Amino acid sequence: MASLAEPPGSRAHSRSPGLSPALGPSRCGGERRRAGSDAVQETQVRPDLNHAIKLLEDAGSSDLEDEQLKVLKKVVKSFENGLPLKDLTQIMDILNLCAEKVNEQEAFVEPVCELIKLCGLPFQKKKLSDEVNYSVAVSKSIAQLGCLMRVPSSQVRIQICKCIISFYKMELPKKLLPGYQPTSANYKIQMAELGGLAETLVLSLALVENQLTEKLWVLKALEHLSSSGVNCRHMMKAQAASRLCLCLNGTDPSGQLVFRSSEILWNLLENSSKEEVVNQLSSLECIHALKEVFVDRLINGFRHYDRQLRNDLLVIATLVAENSAASMIESGFTMLLIVLATFTEAKIPNPLLKGLKLTYSYEDFEMKKLLFNIIGIFSKDPHAVQLLSENDVMPALLDYVKPHKKPGFHDWSAAQYEELQLHAIAILASVAPLLVDKYLSCQANTLLLVFLEWCIGQDPFFGQGNSFHGTGGRGSKLAQMRYSLRVLKSVVSLHDDAVNLNLCDQGAISQLLDVLKYAANKLEQKDDAILLEIQANILFILSALCENDVHRKELFSYEGVDLLISFIQMDPKKLHSGLGHNRLLFSALDCLWSCVIGCYIAEDYFLEQQGIFLLLDLLALKQKNLCNVILGILSEFCDNPKTIIHISAWRGEKDQTAAKLLIQLWRQEEMDLGVQRDQYGRIADVKRPIAGNFQKEQEVIPMPSSCPSFAIVEISENIRAKLYSLLCKLGFENLPGLSAKDFVTLAIIRRYIDFKVGEVWSEVCAELKEEFRPIGSDEEILKVISEVSENIGKMVTAYQTEVLENHHHQEIQEEKKTYTKIRAVHKQKEMVNKSWENFLTRTSNYEALKKAKRLQEKSIEASKSKSKTQNGAVHSTDIKGLGTTVGSGRLVTVESTPFQLVKGPPADKDLPLKKIPFCEEALKKNRKS
């Protein structure tokens, strides 16, 4: 431990100067001689403490008293430079004996004070280990100092407090005992913590209740002790918080009583359990004391110090007000603080604050913020709502819902006014839902809408953004917009028809869409958490206003749908940015559900803008938190007949269809639920085909008919029911893009309702058997019902097996076809290779070439017609000089027919010449062609 470490240079103190460490025997001998000399000196100086104790234990004449005083004086003189640790126990015994004599013999007061003063000096140790070895004895001895507060002497009590304070302002004595060195600086503080001195000192407050000087010294000592968490915990055991609170309103012209008590309370709040401190301060007596001293400082405190103390007490009162068990209303403190919070804004002066004048100093500014804060705390207490209503809290807060004006000379600064304005609007969000009638009577909706119009207007305004509520609003009106929308969100959340109607009659839907567009344009420039919150809140407000009113949905339709489309098109990577994009997306989906579905104009426009495609794109991300909402929206949209066409036309990544996506989501959901399936996706348990692990683990608990069973509750806890609903609307036949595995899963989905009915009947049977024994006919009926459900499972399993077998057979056929194609390709390749090899052989081997030529000629001859043409010309097919056996090219040379053959045989003179008829038109066509 650092506190028990050896002080620097302590080891060098025993080394004799001028002696080399190498001279071992001489050095050791010198140390032994010096140690002996120190022991002799100590024996000569040190008094016989045992003798002193025995002398003090004797009760005798006045001569004995003089001798006792002389011995005490000698003891004090001997230890004037500090008490050795080993003698501390005997010294405390002497102190206790003297304390018993003080009641009868006043002469012992002075030696007691002198001995206590010695305890304030650093203790003396011989060895480094003494601090640890004597720690138990020292801690008990220091704890005895607190017990000495029982001595009915003001001088003794004050000296004890001074001694304790000296622990924290340790000064080394001018001269040390020979052979000793002082303990570490924090040693006494640690021993005081170990011995529980603080607890004893708190209990001594009851002994000095009527002695102001002694009480102030005790409080001063406790103020030092309370800087430690260990001491604070000891003090709380003695009910320090309540005892100190009751000291606050004691008579004290100097003001130190309130100051020191409040400081110790602050230390207790910071260094110990805040809940425990607040619980001790929540009694009616403590709250009365807090109230009285607060009012005194509020009315009569004109100094800077008084205002600071007033604010400190207000913070403590705020912490107490957070405790629902505190008697704040019964004490009248709640009423006082509410009236004070509206003091400057209320038009009617309140007699509770007669004569009060507030300045615009920084302390008063801090008090104003604290009062706004405590109004927010009171709004959480149902018993305080009536007081908030009766004391003009609503008008006072609404006084700040107006465009910022330049402050006057005696007003708040621009930064202070903005901070108060934002704080007031923030508190209004908590108070407005509680005081709806006051909210409407003050025309709060009108004020807020006008204020929002100013927020998006072009009027110059440079927000300071210095406060917590002004975060992110520097140089703009975003902070004002943010908190105004929070107020509107809090009141529309009530779903009060009067509030919502009042908003819509003033054109709130159109104006909110303008604000939403303004924030969206700002967000395009830079992602900002405040802008995201603003947009999410506007979407929530619009959802609440349009949820059950078609006319309002029509007002929202075109402009609103365009904005929703832009939100749904959000980059999915932003959902995990941590700024609030996920909240904005959910708000947009909720707004789509509330403001578009149910209005054909809005629905058709959403479909025209390819909104269904965007929803399916989001669904394809397969994010569990999004799937449930999107599936619900799609199910509702399917009431519009045009929606099915859009869903069927959608194609995702790798040409994925909507049906395939829904089936994949079903499989993923069943995997998460732990539903049993075999390796091919078929039903593994025909008795409970769709039950998950958690559902199977549930025990049968008989429940009243009004309570849904677990099989029914389970429907709302996963997305299978929504998937079934969508696929029912899409149809289970002719779904494109499905594999055999998908068809296996689709068979289960198709029978979802039948399986769910079977689960309900299974629960009914189990509950009946828990409490009743069905008669024979009923038992037979239940058995038949169970068998029907099981048979459906077997039928689905058989169908799944058939699907898989057909698929397997089809795969084999396709495999054969593919194999046949592969064989044909290989055979063609072989023929090409063989042809190429023959060609190479003919070009490199002349004999092979001649042989190929003969075969070619033979083949040509074999292909000629056997019947010869009479008197016809015969043309040779050989090309002279050709040295190849491959087929000829496109260009060939044809010999002309001999002239005599053209003329033909000699004309028969006896035969007349014949004219061949022909068509002139045919000739013309022939020429044209």
How many other β-carbons are positioned within 10 Å of the β-carbon of residue 870? 5
Please give the model's pTM, rounded to 2 decimal places.
0.77
DSSP state of 505: H
Q: Which of 367, 266, 356, 257 is nearest to 302 (CA)?
A: 356
Tens-digit pLDDT profile for residues 345-365: 877 677 777 777 778 889 999
How many other β-carbons are positioned within 10 Å of the β-carbon of residue 417? 18
Q: Which of 596, 587, 517, 516 is nearest to 556 (CA)?
A: 596
84 and 122 Cβ atoms separated by less than 8 Å: no
Burial of 422 (0-12, 13-18, 19+ CB in 10 A): buried
SS3 643: helix
Length of the chain, in residues = 929
Q: Which residues of the chain have pLDDT under 50?
A: 1-44, 408-409, 899, 901-929
The residues, ordered by sequence, that sit 6+ positions from 142 with a Cβ below 8 Å of its Cβ are: 119, 188, 191, 192, 195, 197
528 and 580 Cβ atoms separated by less than 8 Å: no
In whole angstroms, give the CA distance from residue 646 to residue 608.
Answer: 10
540 and 590 Cβ atoms separated by less than 8 Å: yes
DSSP state of 595: H
Burial of 922 (0-12, 13-18, 19+ CB in 10 A): exposed
What pLDDT shows up at residue 885? Answer: 59
What pLDDT shows up at residue 42? Answer: 46
In whole angstroms, give the CA distance from residue 161 to residue 153.
Answer: 13
Q: Bridge partners of 677?
A: 683
Phi, psi for residue 168 in degrees, rounded to 5: -95, -5
Tens-digit pLDDT profile for residues 604-628: 999 999 999 999 999 999 998 899 9
Instruction: Kindly state the tokens that stand for 500.
Output: 């919502």
The residues, ordered by sequence, that sit 6+ positions from 812 with a Cβ below 8 Å of its Cβ are: none
546 and 552 Cβ atoms separated by less than 8 Å: yes
How many other β-carbons are positioned within 10 Å of the β-carbon of residue 891? 5
Q: Which of 60, 50, 47 is nearest to 94 (CA)?
A: 50
Tens-digit pLDDT profile for residues 801-845: 999 999 899 989 999 999 999 999 999 999 999 999 988 888 888
The secondary structure of 57-97, three-state, reads HCCCCHHHHHHHHHHHHHHHHHCCCCCEHHHHHHHHHHHHH
Q: DSSP secondary structure string, 10-71?
A: TTGGGSPTT--TT-HHHHHHHHHHHHHHHHHHHHHHS--HHHHHHHHH----HHHHHHHHHH
Instruction: Kindly state the tokens that stand for 352.
Output: 């509770």
In whole angstroms, give the CA distance from residue 426 to residue 420.
Answer: 10
149 and 104 Cβ atoms separated by less than 8 Å: no
Q: Provide Rg for the chain, Cα atoms.
A: 52
In whole angstroms, give the CA distance from residue 520 to residue 852.
Answer: 85
The residues, ordered by sequence, that sit 6+ positions from 549 with a Cβ below 8 Å of its Cβ are: 504
634 and 647 Cβ atoms separated by less than 8 Å: yes
Element (H, E) at 892: none
